[in-house]
Structure 1
């Protein structure tokens, strides 16, 4: 269930709290290939299932940046701030890929609100995203997104 917040005023008290967890989503070879085609990153560990079977992971793995790019999709399942004019991506902090995402794996995101800082344009909001790998001991990706939310 999506957590609905009415404006930035309802977001601020949640600093330091978990906003929620998305559902599980499968990462299949067609998604990996589509990402490779869009970015031009055709490295064999991602796009050549036969060669990847003999590689370090035993099968193809998702690009780290593919996993990172799933953050907006996963986050929309977790929360929404109503009453905003716009949300603009401002950047990323502390991006890491501790564990690969093998083809056929399922991932989800656990979101924690780090900070809300008023600026002249709106509020700069930092959210920590831990992309979890189903059955994995370590996350697939940990990143802080920085967004400008304009009310």
Structure 2
């Protein structure tokens, strides 16, 4: 659930690190559906038999599937400025896929609010350093600098 913050307290949240989101299990069905949507049917994603002989020993989620999960994870770490009527995805300045997410792995997201800037009156640009962690792995699945815009 998003935390509501007062407009005059926005600067207090720069550097704030969220609690991690809930764990989410990435299933083969989800990977297959993503492959169907993106037309990326590479064997390492959709063919469990062939993937067992591949470099990861099992099927893995698409990196972009893991990235797209940020919108789900954000429910656990997002902050909304009081009075915001529109929140939009503004893009990414950096995305790195560090560790493959094997099928049936559990992943979760966390964020640090790196910068919050009022670009125009009532338009706030938020820069989040986000990480998707894999349960039991030392290195995360991905790190990214995610930019969102909130309009009051």
TM-score interval (norm. to shorter): over 0.9
Deviation at 1:11, TM superposition (A): 3.6
Distance in 1 of aligned mates of 2:8 and 2:20:
22
Identify the residue that residue 90 of structure 2 maps to in structure 1: 90
Deviation at 1:7, TM superposition (A): 4.0
Deviation at 1:83, TM superposition (A): 2.4
The correspondence of residues 54-65 of structure 1 with structure 2, limited to 5 A, is 54-65=53-64
C-alpha contact (below 8 Å) 1:20/1:79 kept by paired residues: no
User: After TM superposition, what 4+ stretches of structure 1 lie above 6 angstroms from structure 2?
Assistant: none
Identify the residue that residue 26 of structure 1 maps to in structure 2: 25
Question: Secondary structure of the equivalent of 1:113?
Answer: strand
Deviating more after overlay: 79-88 vs 108-117: 79-88
The correspondence of residues 2-151 of structure 1 with structure 2, limited to 5 A, is 2=1, 4-81=3-80, 82-120=82-120, 122-151=123-152
Q: Cα deviation per residue 1:88-143 (whole Å; 9 max; x = unaligned)?
A: 11110210011000001000011100101111260111111100000001000101
Distance in 1 of aligned mates of 2:19 and 2:2:
8
Deviation at 1:79, TM superposition (A): 2.8
Deviating more after overlay: 7-16 vs 65-74: 7-16
**Number of equivalenced pairs:** 150
